[in-house]
């Protein structure tokens, strides 16, 4: 009986704190907890990362030989491509100079942030970064990896920290485009399977290995931000749309530093009251 | 007094869960050492101490993650009634029931968590979750059980025999 009373009381209090938490009333407490814990958390992460790397390497050793072979072939192909691109770049540069496109284009501004935590839940894909409202962060801001590919979007902001919803989170969807065929679709996060690009018209040809980037539609993301690479295409001729599995370009499970794009105002922010 | 020792231990496990566990996924899921510790605790030492540790550690975990504060308390609560199986002495060993309770508690944890997330408007993949999250997580947590059960059983036996000696003395 006593246990039952305790369980009911604890459940009732938990529901109250969930409600308070949703209203943001506990944000100062969260900020304080993260301030105290983040150095410890960073220490644990720094200790865990090399161990995890070693385990990963052991597990991946079998694949390495095949991968090396493939990579050598790719290097050769890329060298040939680079030679061609140099020529194209020279031509493009000439055209750009003529049109003076760059004069009217403001440079992007970034805020560098360190990843301090990952959400341990098996149902969400989120990271915490050490920049918050006091640094000018706002919900909806776009986050990129150090290699300039799309990581996700800022989903909640505390005074000194922010949580970023990764593009692989089941709640994430990004208007995207297959660069080679200019086919537009929507890239969504899936449960542990990386990314899925949906709503690809059946009549368009999407090749494995194609590059996927943001399309800029909807105004929530700038265009031409690298998302990843198509690894498989699914869909029978009867389907209206095709689907494609996309491998994220950024190494999302091992992010250390990220860039927050502060110069781009997402449509969400513009519409905010 | 004993909570001065228990609470930091449990907090350390929370920290390990939040900072280190995501680096070691197995079957695409991350283990829940806090749940395993609290379940082993309830099964070995009885649910009374766990009733204090659950709110303390769960709130701490929610404060340093992105979860709404309180969701882990709700998700971990089933441990207390589940630990009631201890009193029935179904098997000679406590270990097998502990593994079973860890698995059931893990399933309850994720179900409660998913219900709360759905209520709060988050997109939860209910159809995929049983095979992709619930079962693998329950198995992974069961595999972790000896890591917590054995030291706890040993420490409890040691303290109980010391207490008995003091009484005899």
Domain that holds residue B53: 2-14+28-149
Q: How far is CA A163 from CA A153, A173, B43, in A?
A: 9, 17, 36
Please judge whether A122 and B30 are an interchain contact, meaning their C-beta atoms are less than 8 angstroms apart.
Answer: yes
Element (H, E) at B161: helix B135-168
Q: Do A25 and A144 reside in the same domain of the chain?
A: no
The neighbour count for residue A248, using CB atoms within 10 Å, is: 24
Residues B134-155 have a mean pLDDT of: 93
pLDDT attached to residue A91 = 57
Q: What is the pLDDT of residues B53-83, one digit of tens each?
A: 899 999 999 999 888 999 999 999 999 999 8
Q: Do A18 and B19 touch (CB under 8 A)?
A: no
- Same-domain check for residues A249 and A201: yes
Q: Do B129 and A124 touch (CB under 8 A)?
A: no
Contact A7 B81 (CB under 8 A): yes
Do A179 and A212 form a contact (C-beta atoms < 8 A)? yes
Listed residues A105, A139, A163: the one ending a domain: A105
Domain enclosing residue A82, as ranges: 1-105
Q: Do A14 and B16 touch (CB under 8 A)?
A: no
On whether residue B160 sits in a domain, the answer given is no
pLDDT band at B85 (very low <50, low <70, confident <90, very high): confident
Residue A151 sits in a domain of what CATH number? 2.40.10.340
Q: Is B11 on the interface with A (CB under 8 A)?
A: no
Q: Whose CA is closest to B104, among B71, B132, B80, B128?
A: B80
Q: Which ipTM did the prediction report?
A: 0.85
Both A99 and A118 in one domain: the answer is: no
Q: Which chain B residues are within 8 Å of A122, Cβ to Cβ?
A: 29-30, 110, 133, 137
Q: Which of residues 18-77 of B touch A (CB under 8 A)?
A: 18-24, 28-30, 32, 47, 51, 54-55, 59-60, 62-71, 73-74, 77
Are residues B11 and B116 in contact, defined by beta-carbon separation less than 8 angstroms? no
pTM of the model: 0.73
Please name the residues in contact with A206: beta carbons below 8 A apart, sequence gap of 6 or more. A178, A181, A183, A200, A230, A233, A242, A244
Q: How far apart are CA B97 and CA B120, in angstroms?
A: 34
Inspect the interface and report whether the beta carbons of B19 and A22 lie closer than 8 Å.
no
Of B1 and B68, which is predicted with more confidence? B68
Tell me the average confidence (pLDDT) per consecutive run of 10 residues in chain A, 273 residues long. 86 93 90 89 85 79 77 77 68 50 54 86 88 91 85 92 93 89 89 84 84 87 88 82 89 85 73 46
Bridge partners of A186? A175, A198
Cβ <8 Å between A45 and B19: yes
Q: A143: which strand partners?
A: A152, A260
Secondary structure element (H or E) that encloses residue B49, with its range: helix B47-64
**Same domain assignment for residues A150 and A231:** yes
Chain A nearest-CA distance from B47, in A, is 9
Same domain (yes/no): A240, A154? yes
Count Cβ–Cβ pairs < 8 Å, chain A vs chain B.
146
Q: Are residues A86 and A59 in the same domain?
A: yes
H or E segment to which residue B107 belongs: helix B95-119
CA–CA–CA angle B138, B140, B141 (5° rounding): 65
End-to-end CA distance of chain B: 23
pLDDT at B33: 92
- In this prediction, residue A105 carries a pLDDT of 35
Optimal mutation site among A2, A18, A54, A58, interface B, most CBs of chain B within 10 A: A18
B151 to chain A, any CB pair closer than 8 A? The answer is no
Are the beta carbons of A171 and B122 separated by less than 8 Å? yes
Among A72, A105, A138, the domain boundary falls at: A105
Of A3, A124, A156, the CB nearest to B47: A3
- CA-nearest residue of chain A to B49? A3
Instruction: Verify that A193 and A263 share a domain, yes or no.
Output: yes
pLDDT value of residue A106: 54
Q: Are residues A118 and A101 in the same domain?
A: no
SS3 B104: helix
For residue B154, is it within any domain?
no
In-domain check, residue B164: no
Instruction: Specify whether A99 is located in the same domain as A15.
Output: yes
- The residues in B 83-122 lying below 8 A from A, measured between CB atoms, are 84, 110, 113-114, 116-117, 120, 122
Q: Give domain status of residue B108, yes or no.
A: yes
CB atoms B23 and A156 under 8 Å: no
Residue A111 and residue A83 share a domain: no
Structural domains of chain A, count: 2
* pLDDT at res. A96: 56
Q: Which two tokens stand for residue A93?
A: 């540069």
Q: Please tell me whether residues A60 and A147 are part of one structural domain.
A: no
CA distance B105 to B43: 12
SS (H, E, C) chain A: CHHHHHHHHHHHHHHHHHHHHHCCCCHHHHHHHHHHHHHHHHHHHHHHHHHHHHHHHHHHHHHHHHHHHHHHHHHHHHHHHHHHHHHHHHHHHHHHHHHCHHHHCCCCCEEEEEEEEECCCCCCCEEEECCCHHHCCCCCCEEEECCCEEEEEEEEECCCCEEEEECCCCCCEEEEEECCCCEEEEEEECCCCCEEEEEEECCCCCCCCCEEEECCHHHCCCCCCEEEEEEEEECCCCCCEEEEEEEECCCHHHCCEEEEECCCCCHHHHHCC
Give the closest of A17, A120, A170 to B65, CB-based.
A120
Counted domains in chain B:
1
CB contact under 8 Å between A21 and B70, yes or no, is yes
- Of A105, A125, A149, the domain-final residue: A105
Contact flag B18-A120 (C-beta cutoff 8 Å): yes
Residues A125 and A235 in one domain: yes
pLDDT at A152: 94
């Amino acid at each position: 009986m006593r246990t039952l009373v305790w369980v009911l009381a604890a459940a009732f209090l938990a529901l109250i704190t969930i409600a308070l938490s949703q209203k943001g009333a506990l944000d100062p407490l969260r900020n304080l907890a993260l301030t105290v814990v983040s150095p410890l958390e960073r220490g644990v992460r720094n200790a865990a990362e090399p161990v995890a790397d070693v385990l990963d390497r052991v597990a991946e050793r079998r694949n390495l030989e095949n991968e090396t072979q493939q990579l050598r072939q790719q290097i050769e192909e890329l060298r040939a491509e680079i030679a061609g691109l140099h020529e194209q770049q020279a031509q493009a540069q000439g055209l750009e100079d003529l049109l003076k496109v760059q004069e009217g284009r403001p440079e992007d501004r970034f805020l560098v942030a360190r990843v301090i935590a990952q959400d341990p839940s098996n149902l969400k894909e989120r990271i915490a970064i050490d920049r918050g409202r006091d640094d000018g962060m706002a919900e909806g801001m776009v986050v990129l990896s150090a290699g300039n590919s799309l990581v996700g979007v800022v989903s909640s902001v505390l005074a000194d920290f922010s949580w970023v919803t990764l593009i692989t989170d089941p709640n994430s969807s990004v208007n995207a485009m297959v660069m080679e065929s200019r086919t537009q679709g929507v890239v969504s996060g899936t449960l542990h399977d990386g990314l899925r690009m949906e709503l690809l018209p059946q009549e368009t040809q999407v090749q494995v290995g194609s590059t996927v980037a943001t399309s800029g539609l909807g105004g929530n993301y700038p265009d031409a931000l690298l998302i990843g690479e198509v690894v498989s295409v699914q869909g029978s001729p009867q389907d209206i749309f095709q689907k494609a599995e996309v491998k994220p370009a950024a190494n999302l499970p091992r992010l250390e530093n990220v860039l927050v794009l502060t110069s781009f105002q997402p449509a969400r922010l513009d519409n905010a009251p | 007094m004993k909570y001065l020792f228990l609470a930091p231990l449990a907090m350390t496990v929370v920290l390990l869960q939040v900072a280190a566990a995501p680096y070691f996924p197995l079957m695409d899921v991350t283990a829940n050492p806090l749940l395993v510790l609290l379940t082993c605790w309830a099964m070995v030492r009885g649910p009374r101490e766990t009733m204090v540790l659950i709110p303390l550690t769960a709130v701490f975990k929610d404060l340093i993650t992105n979860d709404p504060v309180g969701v882990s308390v709700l998700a971990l609560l089933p441990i207390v009634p589940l630990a009631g199986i201890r009193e029935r002495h179904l098997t000679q060993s406590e270990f097998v029931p502990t593994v079973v309770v860890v698995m059931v508690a893990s399933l309850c944890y994720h179900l409660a968590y998913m219900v709360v997330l759905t209520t709060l408007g988050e997109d939860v993949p209910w159809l995929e979750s049983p095979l992709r999250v619930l079962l693998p997580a329950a198995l992974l947590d069961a595999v972790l059980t000896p890591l917590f059960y054995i030291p706890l059983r040993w420490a409890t036996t040691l303290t109980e025999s010391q207490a008995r000696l003091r009484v005899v003395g």
